[in-house]
Amino acid sequence: MAKMVIGLSSGSIDKLVGAGVIMSGAAAADMDIEVYVLLTAARAFLKGNEDLDDSYVEYPHLKNEMKAKFSELKMNSWIESFRQVKEMANVKVYICSLAGKMWDGNSMEQYNDLVDGFTGIFQYVEAANEADLHMNL
């Protein structure tokens, strides 16, 4: 089975929603998926942060327009998309231990139910090197 690895370094809503869409496509293609949550993305996976909408990195001036379009198109939130994909495919989500420390998230109990564990950057690099498809968002 083919494997896709995503290095998710941005916790902005536009990047998280995009990751969910990409993961859906990979699941439809019957791929195993590993997501390595880096830098500011780790903040989004902390319990209680799932509904934050304070970050739109690429086009912050379009935040209200993007939110309206997401609503108009009845798009799932990023976390709903991730959960659906985890139900459909073999998906593992790992928090980079350094990123976790950045946000004081040092234990699994501090993260939402999507997170499967902690990892170091070496494991991400190894997985990306061995993957059939590697994306960095």
Residue ranges and CATH numbers for the domains of the chain are 3-136 (3.40.1260.10)
Kindly tell me if the per-residue pLDDT of 86 is higher than 70: yes
Distance, first Cα to last Cα, the chain: 23
Name, in order, each residue with C-beta under 8 angstroms of 62's C-beta and a sequence gap of 6 or more.
Answer: 56
Tell me how far apart the alpha carbons of residues 124 and 121 are, in angstroms, rounded to a whole number. Answer: 5
pTM (2 d.p.): 0.92
3-state secondary structure 113-130: CCCCEEECHHHHHHHHHH
- For 37-46, b/e burial (b = at least 16 CB within 10 A) is bbbbbbbbbb
Tell me how far apart the alpha carbons of residues 87 and 98 are, in angstroms, rounded to a whole number. Answer: 28
Give pLDDT tens digits for 98-133.
Answer: 999 999 988 999 999 999 999 999 999 999 999 999
- pLDDT reported for residue 2: 97
Give pLDDT tens digits for 39-77.
Answer: 989 999 999 988 777 666 667 788 788 888 888 998 888
Name, in order, each residue with C-beta under 8 angstroms of 116's C-beta and a sequence gap of 6 or more.
Answer: 92, 93, 94
